[in-house]
Chains A and B, each alone.
Chain A
Amino acid sequence: MQEFVLNPPARLLSADPAEKAGTASARSEFELRLRECAPLAYRVARSVLRNDADAEEIAQEALFRAYRKFNELRDPSRFRAWVVRISFRLALDRWRSFKRREQRETAWARLGAQPPPTAEQVALSSEFQARLERALDELPDKTRLVVILSAIQGHTLEEVAAILEIPVGTVKSKLFHARKQLAEKLR
């Protein structure tokens, strides 16, 4: 796990004292939540996009948007759910725009534009993995997010339910149907 160091931004030094204090307070609160939420935002985006660079960009955008609206958040305990939803929504938008672009482009251009796969990608891009990802893409958005969050290490069903603000029974039900659907497509 990487270390997150709290660095006061240079812009704060020249600001109005009251504004500076408020911004610094919000910033320090936000930084405290970054440790937990940054990896989560990244992993959610990565699960949808399956591309490291895009996922990083989307996670940064999601966290940036969350920071811009941080003062408007009345219940800080919902911050994690908020970031997950922003990240998932942004990643879905990006993924859909990729799909649309892919459909427009010709096959030769598509092949030429793809970067060479990394060793890790080669390892993961087995036939089974590819089929699983395709099956995952076909799940409804909410069910897909439940599957992704429950697959992220250390997340219990209760935590997934808390993040998505839905009952645990709904999480169980969605997971049950998603697993059956995925298994059927992989069989």
Chain B
Amino acid sequence: MNCKNCQEDILDSLAAGENALSADNTRHLVSCTTCAVFHRQQRELFHSMQSALAASVNQPVPPSLVPGLRVRLDENPASPRFLLTGWKRPALPVVLVLVVGLGLLSRGSLRHNPVAIPAPLAAIPAAPVAAQAALDVVPSTPAVPGRSARRAARPHEDSKQPVEPEVIVLPEEREAFDRFIAQAPDNPEAILALTRPLPDGNDSAVQIALLAIKPLQVRPLESSEE
């Protein structure tokens, strides 16, 4: 057996806490003085190491350890489970501020961005109403209302009643409607057509004609230079 291998085996067996060596190593130790000395030295080293480690670790426990702990426990009894401890305690105010801030932000954004009604759609009355009644409902607000105008357009906000939809009418449309009402006595049929429902089966207000394509005429391209 090789001396190097034998010494490695000796170290491995000592590190593993085994006292006995293999038969090959034992035979080698009998014949090799160098390895026998190495084995004895390493065995002593490991033994000293274990002894020193045990002496260092197994120190007598000071008698004041447990009484001191009891005093501390009496002064600070265990906190109930529901109380926040550790990192949760300083985090609580931060979380509260965040929640309140987010709530205020979302409320503010709703107030400053009401659901915008497109002007052309808003100009059309939502339900078939009488022309004069519709005029009474429509507030006299500009096309792009400011804050005060919006506030004025919500008369029922404070009374907690259901708010009527805000209808925006362009000034020129309003003038045209006024002219139409002024000429109404001259055109009673038009008023009737607007205020009466259409007969059954003919309720389509607009008729859309089919797409008609005129015959195509193909001509050769003419140069602009000629």
The interface of chain A, by Cβ under 8 A from chain B, is 2, 4, 7, 9-12, 15, 19, 23, 26-27, 34, 38-39, 42-43, 46-47, 50, 52, 55-56, 59-60, 63-64, 67-68, 70-72, 124, 128-129, 132-133, 136, 147-148, 151-153, 172, 175-177, 179-180, 182-183, 186-187
Contact = CB atoms under 8 A, between A and B. Distances in A.
Interface of B: 11-12, 14-17, 42, 45-46, 48-50, 52-59, 61-66, 68-70, 72-74, 76-81, 85
A152 B60 CA distance: 11
A63 B76 CA distance: 13
Contacts of A2: 61, 63, 66
B79 A68 contact: yes
Given A183-B11, A183-B46, A50 B62 contact: no
Contact of B59 (A23, A52, A128, A129): A52
Contacts of B80: 19
Contacts of A7: 70
Contacts of A172: 16
A52 B12 CA distance: 35
A23 B46 contact: no
A124 B49 CA distance: 13
A8 B15 CA distance: 48
B49 A179 contact: yes
Contact of B45 (A59, A177, A186): A186
Contacts of A133: 56
Nearest to A126: B52
Contacts of A148: 57
Contacts of B11: 180, 183
A9 B11 CA distance: 54
A187 B62 CA distance: 34
B73 A27 contact: yes
B49 A186 contact: yes
Contact of B69 (A50, A63, A70, A124): A63
A38 B11 CA distance: 36
A71 B81 contact: yes
Contacts of A124: 55-56
